[in-house]
Structure 1
């Protein structure tokens, strides 16, 4: 039985955290997603619900951004068009809303969201610092971003999630995510965990730790615009995200590899923090955590 005062504190903390992630419109958007009637791409039995509705996404999201930054053309698009330095919270709110609508929303809302994102991608193009042209609508870059996200969300869930997925469940998650990826313009997205791993390996010759990527990593990990009281918990999330990266992704971003500390201190601290986040969010989010 939860004491009324403790329950009240828990709800206030959960509401504050949810608003930080989803923005001031988050509660209204969450209600719309939950109450809207109509067919959905996925129901509650699908692995994508299990993964995207878990607090482990906090680690997975950071990991995905770090991994994605290793592709020079993808990073050039982020540096030139995303406004991640000037409006990092806005970018987080938009990403959270996209994930919520495409995972938990109606088919009509998901398709409308996809159409908006594809229209934005058509406008994001330019020349990378190495002189190569890039376009966010390029299926090859879209595939890289998708691979990094799916691998990161799944890895974080398996390590820090409330449960775990067996092989069929992991393949099911990848197949679920492939439906969204294909709608976004990814050609032949992976449908199994093995295909994700093979896809990541195939991109490795193209990856590089550019100056822009290292600056983005420092901003995300060391200089986020956060109030002083939440910097320590965020530091744990950052450490957990770095520890979850493959070793080959560390050096290009000048990130440390401390296997003993990562297997003990970082993992225990990460597990404790994610359990705490899950606890404060639970009473507020009987429906999806993202919005």
Structure 2
């Protein structure tokens, strides 16, 4: 029998699909896919490029995003709410300029926040499901509905956020005419293919990172490949590669993977007991 949970389960808790899914190593591939997809919204990516030293602090940005997701998933309710408040506070101070019209606009416009949110959720679901993680349609719908909590934390009205796969697909169909691979998207693409690393790590970048980035790119929807102007393997080939990568990464013991800082899952298990351990088989419960 599982140990009785006595600590604060946080905003999602061990019984959620989110809890089980976010502990999987393929979330890193999904995160890179999300960056590729998010960069195709000119107004959204412009806010990132104009308000951060993306090329020189992209690794820091990736790690901060991963830390935020880990905190709101496995942290206490207080920690998650504080993380959300911090994000909202930062975004409220930032704006971007449209170079074509001169328009100045806030980066926390609801439509921009919604795009970033949906691109992330779609990427997490797509990569997980095609890499062998056991997510049924019902579980996928539960996950999308649960993620309205994270949408609220960044400043969105949960009632305006897709709550299942049908609504998520309808959202992407609606927003597609606004997407384009402009200068800022090319910068993101270039960084993800050739991120700056010390000279000693250049071979590793070519051998390992490039493969991961290419897999994330290949897993994008066909319209994204058309916008970027770079071809990708067939969906069947991509699915096989995702499944193989997922199998290999999941061979690394979870206890070892979760020891990497900042150890969100380890701390959550200490707080709630060993029965709170994330595991794919728990999704169907």
Listed one character per residue, the Cα deviations across residues 211-260 of structure 1 (whole Å, up to 9, x for unaligned) are 1111211211x21124222432222211221221111111222221332x
Listed one character per residue, the Cα deviations across residues 175-205 of structure 1 (whole Å, up to 9, x for unaligned) are 1111110232223111111111111111111
The 5 Å alignment of 1:208-227 reads 208-220=180-192, 222-226=193-197, 227=201
C-alpha distance in structure 2 between counterparts of 1:217 and 1:246, whole Å: 15
C-alpha distance in structure 2 between counterparts of 1:130 and 1:157, whole Å: 38
- What is the alpha-carbon root mean square deviation over aligned residues? 2.3
Which of 192, 200, 208 aligns to 1:233? It is 208
- Equivalence for 1:165: 135
Provide TM-score, normalisation by structure 2. 0.81
Which of 99, 113, 133 aligns to 1:142? It is 113
Which of 32, 41, 45 aligns to 2:15? It is 45
- Equivalence for 2:90: 120
The 5 Å alignment of 1:252-291 reads 252-259=227-234, 263-264=236-237, 266-280=238-252, 282-284=254-256, 285=258
Residues 207 and 196 (structure 1), Cα distance of their counterparts in 2 relative to 1, 3 Å cut: same
Gaps of 5+ in 1: 1-34
- The alpha-carbon deviation at position 268 of structure 1 amounts to 4.1
Residues 289 and 245 (structure 1), Cα distance of their counterparts in 2 relative to 1, 3 Å cut: farther
C-alpha distance in structure 2 between counterparts of 1:229 and 1:39, whole Å: 39
Which of 94, 100, 122 aligns to 1:151? It is 122
SS in 2 for 1:225: coil
C-alpha distance in structure 1 between counterparts of 2:17 and 2:6, whole Å: 21
Instruction: Work out whether residues 127 and 242 of structure 2, in 8 Å CA contact, stay in contact via their aligned partners in 1.
Output: no
SS in 2 for 1:130: coil
Residues 165 and 274 (structure 1), Cα distance of their counterparts in 2 relative to 1, 3 Å cut: closer
1:98 corresponds to 2:71: no
Q: Does 223-232 or 168-177 show the bigger shift? A: 223-232
1:79 corresponds to 2:52: no
C-alpha distance in structure 2 between counterparts of 1:141 and 1:273, whole Å: 32
C-alpha distance in structure 1 between counterparts of 2:131 and 2:241, whole Å: 11
- Equivalence for 2:168: 196
1:249 corresponds to 2:249: no
- Equivalence for 2:104: 133
C-alpha distance in structure 2 between counterparts of 1:269 and 1:192, whole Å: 27
C-alpha distance in structure 1 between counterparts of 2:176 and 2:245, whole Å: 32
- Equivalence for 2:36: 66
